Amino acid sequence: MRALVPLHAAALGLAAALAIAPSAAAQPGQVSGSVAMTTGRTTVRVGEAFRLQIRANVNGAEVDRFELPSELDRFLVRSRQVSRPISFRFGSGGSQVVSSQTVYSFVLEAREPGSVELSPAVVTAGGRTFRSNGLRIEVTGTAAPGATPPPGTTPTPGGQQPGATPQSTPGGQTVAVDGVQYDAQAFFRTTADVAEPYVGQQVTVTVYLYSRAPLRSAPHLTREPSADAFWVQDLLPPRRALEPERQNVGGNWFYVYKLRRFAAFPLREGELTIGAPEMTLQTGGGIFGFGGGQQLERTGTPITVAARALPNPPPNAVVGDYQLSAELDRSQVRTGDALTLTATVQGTGNVRDVRLELPDIDGLQVLQPEIDDQILHPGERVGGTRVFKWLIVPQQPGEHVIPAMTLNLFDPAAETYRPISTPELHITAAGNAVAPAQPDPAQGTTEPTEIEAEPAPTPSADHAAAFGPLRREAALERGSAPVSSQPWYWALLIGLPLLFSIGLGVAKLRARAPDEQATARSRAKERLGDAKKRAAAGEARPFYAAITTALQAALESRLGEPVSGMTHEELRSVLRGRGMEEDLVRRVLDELESCDFARFSSAGGSASEMDACLGRVRGLLDAIDGFRPREAA
C-alpha cells in the first residue's frame, strides 16, 4: 500500500515527496544508495541564471524523505523539475528488489553578491540516511534594487504549506518531468513521461488544471503550450466531457481537469522546451453563474526535456516498432509498360520519420514514390501506416531484381537496433529494348536552304494591249455596310438575353429570401419548443443541443447566411460586422458557450438551470428578431 509522506524543505517549501513503505523483507543492511549535488558553474554574477541538480539513487528501498539544502533560499528559483522513476527487479529466490531514483533539477538566479555554502542534501530510505556533497557558489557583482523574494517563501492563504506540489497525477501516469507552481486557488501542472528522450522517441505531455472550486464554464486557453522543436499528435478527442477528478494537495482538495494530452516527438537533439500555457477561467457557482464565482487568469510553467541523438546510427535508423512489407502488382510485363511497387511500413512510432529509397537499377526506370500516411493512436502510443508507391518502367528485356529494403529499428529502452527487411523482388520483361530517341550523327545537321526569289517579268506592250492595264484594287462599291458589321448589333444581340436572365434571377431571389427567413424563424421556434419538452423530461444534453440550434436558426433568419459551421470567434466577427450591438453579441456568445459546456459536462443539468436558460433564450430570440443587419461586405 502506497503512503504519501510529507516532505518539508525549509528553503523552497517543497512538500509531499512520494514515498512507499519498504517491504518487510528490506533490512537496513541490504539498502544501498548515493546522493550527488552538481552544478555547471560555481561562479556566477548577480542576475545570472545557472543550473543545479541533486540526484539520489537507492537500491533495496524507496526514498522516504528528501531534505534539500536550506541555503537555496539565497537564490531566486526560476524553474524546478522533479523526476521519480521507480523500477523493480527480481533477485535470487524470486525476491523483489526495488531500485528508485529521485532527481531535483533547478534553474536558479543569484540575487545578491557573496559566497553561498550549500549544505549536503539528506535522503532517508529503508532506515538508512545518505548525504550528498556540499557546494560553494561564488556570486559577484552588485545586488539589483528592489529584488523580489524567491517564489515559495511567502505565506499562502489559509495556512497552506507554501510551495506544495502534487504527489501524483490523476490516473497514476508516470511522471519524469514535472512543471508546477503552486497556487492556493488554481494552478497549471505540465508533466512529461520521459526526461531524456532520443530524437524521434515519443514523449507524452499532459497539461492539468488544479482548481479549488469547480469550473462553471469551459476554460479558455489564451495560449496553447508551444512545442516548436517537436512533431505533435493530440491524444484526446476534440470534443469530450471535461470531467474533473479530486486530488488532495498539501491538505487542500482540488478539482483536477485534464486539459491537454499529446505525444511530442523531438525533431533534434538538445534541450527542448514545452512552453507554458495561459488561461482565463470561471470558477464557482452553477454553470450559469448563480451562487457566485470569480474569473481567474493563470500561466503555467514551461518544462524542458533533454533530447539525445541516436547512438552510432546505422543507415535508415528510426525509433519505433514496425513491420515492413513490399509487393509488385505484377511480375511479368512488356518493356515500356509501367508496374507498381508498393512498400508498407506499419507499427508504433512516428511513421513520418520513415524513409525508404530504391537504388538505380540497370534496365529499369524508377520514378519518385508517392507517399501516403495514416496516423493512428488507439491508446496512448502513436503509430500508423506509411505507404510508398513507385512506378517502375522496364527499358531492357530480361530478368530484373529489386533489392531488399532495410530499416534499422531503435528500441530506446534496450538502446539496441533491430533490422527488418523486405525480400528481393523479381521482374521479367519481354519485348524490345526501349531507348530514348537520339539524332543520327551520320546524317549530320540539315540546314534550311534559302531560295532566291526571281524578279517578276515585266509585261510587254502586246500583253497590255490584249488584257488592258493591271488593276490593284476592285472598282466595285457597296451601297451600304452590312448590319452585322455595326458595333451596336453584337451588343444588342448579347445584351438583351443577359438582361432578361439577370432580371429573372433577382425576382426569384426577392421572392425566396422572405421564405427562407420565415423558414429559419419557424425552425427556431420549433427547436425552442423541443427544448421545453426536453427540460420537462429532465434530458439535459438534448435540451442544450436544442437551445443551440434555436439560437443558430434565429441568427440565420436575420443574417441570411448559415452560421452553424462557424466557430464562436468567427460568429463574433460576423455579428459585429453586420452591425449587432456589442451587448447582444456578448449575450449570444455567452449563451452558446454555456450550452457547449453543459452538453459535455455533468454540471448544469438541474431543472432550475434549464428553466432559467429557457427564459434567457426567449429574451435573446426577441432581441435577435428586432436586429436589422447591414448588408454583408
Res. 611: pLDDT tops 60: yes
Res. 250: pLDDT tops 60: yes
Q: Give residue 85's identity as a one-letter amino acid code.
A: P
Beta strands in 47-176 (DSSP E): 49-59, 63-67, 75-83, 86-90, 96-110, 114-118, 122-125, 128-131, 135-140
pLDDT of residue 507: 63
Domains of the chain and CATH, by start: 2-154 (2.60.40), 184-307 (2.60.40), 319-430 (2.60.40.740), 503-625 (1.20.120.330)
Residues 252-286: pLDDT tens digits?
Answer: 888 899 999 999 999 999 999 999 999 888 765 44
Contact predicate 342/327, CB 8 Å: yes
Nearest alpha-carbon partner for 195 in 204, 186, 182, 187: 204
Tell me the C-alpha to C-alpha distance, in Å, between residue 503 and each of 474, 508, 515, 525.
49, 9, 19, 34
The burial class, CB within 10 Å (0-12 / 13-18 / 19+), for 68 is: buried
The burial class, CB within 10 Å (0-12 / 13-18 / 19+), for 511 is: exposed
Euclidean distance between CA atoms 201 and 204, whole angstroms: 10
Contact predicate 72/11, CB 8 Å: yes
Mean pLDDT (the chain, rounded) = 78
Euclidean distance between CA atoms 502 and 446, whole angstroms: 61
Say which residue, 95 or 608, is predicted with more confidence: 608
The burial class, CB within 10 Å (0-12 / 13-18 / 19+), for 39 is: middle
- Rounded to the nearest angstrom, the gap between the alpha carbon of residue 211 and the centroid of all alpha carbons in its chain is 24
Assigned C-alpha cell, 368: 519518385
Beta strands in 224-251 (DSSP E): 230-234, 245-249
Percent of the chain with pLDDT over 70: 73
Euclidean distance between CA atoms 44 and 50, whole angstroms: 8
Q: Give residue 41's identity as a one-letter amino acid code.
A: R
Residues 47-66: pLDDT tens digits?
Answer: 788 889 999 888 888 788 88
pLDDT of residue 14: 34
Assigned C-alpha cell, 489: 448589333
What count of Cα atoms within 13 Å lies in the side-chain half-sphere of residue 340? 10
The confidence band for 85, taking pLDDT boundaries of 50, 70 and 90, is: low
What angle (nearest 5°) sits at the alpha carbon of residue 600, between those of residues 224 and 550? 105
Res. 313: pLDDT tops 80: yes
Contact predicate 397/364, CB 8 Å: no
Nearest alpha-carbon partner for 166 in 14, 306, 284: 14
The confidence band for 438, taking pLDDT boundaries of 50, 70 and 90, is: low
Other CB atoms within a 10 A radius of the CB of residue 421 amount to: 13
Question: Max CA-CA distance within the chain?
Answer: 142
Mean pLDDT, rounded, for 222-240: 88
Tell me 395's DSSP state. Answer: -
Other CB atoms within a 10 A radius of the CB of residue 223 amount to: 12
